[in-house]
């Protein structure tokens, strides 16, 4: 299977998601400390959860590119997006608290991005399920 051909078969939104999964997955593994504060305090072993989510993102990316695993990867991708939603809400909450403490244009831009990220997950979940159901 040629990964480039597999990637071309995906709709543009899913190609973007594959790219985001690769970048984010690698970042989770290389710089886990960036993501640890976003793990809700009720969950134990933040670093291990960051590593686990990074590996899950890379597995979903690879699975979406391969037509033989695309269906399972679509469902896994939807589940992953639901699972990381609390972390994305926490990142938005932290960005908002940072702006309240001392507002700067950079902090305001980060907050806007974090706030947009939460509802943006719904179309990605839908697209993942659509790929799985094809």
pLDDT tens digits along 75-84? 999 999 999 8
Q: What is the mean pLDDT of each run of 10 residues along the chain (134 residues)?
A: 74 90 96 89 90 96 94 96 89 91 92 90 92 90
Going by C-alpha positions, the residue among 17, 31, 16 that lies closest to residue 84 is: 17
This prediction has a pTM of 0.84
pLDDT for the residue numbered 19: 93
Taking a C-beta distance cutoff of 8 angstroms, is the pair 58, 28 a contact?
A: no
Rg (CA), the chain: 16
Q: What secondary structure letter does DSSP report for 55? A: H
pLDDT tens digits along 19-44? 999 999 999 999 999 889 888 788 88
């Amino acid at each position: 299977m040629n990964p480039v051909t597999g990637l071309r078969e995906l709709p543009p939104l899913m190609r973007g998601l594959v790219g985001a999964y690769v970048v984010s997955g690698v970042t989770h593994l290389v710089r886990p400390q960036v993501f640890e504060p976003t793990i809700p305090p009720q969950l134990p072993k933040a670093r291990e959860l960051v590593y686990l989510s990074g590996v899950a993102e890379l597995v979903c990316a690879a699975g979406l590119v391969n037509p033989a695993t695309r269906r399972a990867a679509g469902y896994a991708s939807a589940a992953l997006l639901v699972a990381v939603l609390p972390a994305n809400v926490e990142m938005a909450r932290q960005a908002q608290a940072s702006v309240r403490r001392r507002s700067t244009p950079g902090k305001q831009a980060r907050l806007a991005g974090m706030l947009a990220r939460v509802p943006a997950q719904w179309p990605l979940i839908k697209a993942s399920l659509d790929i799985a159901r094809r």
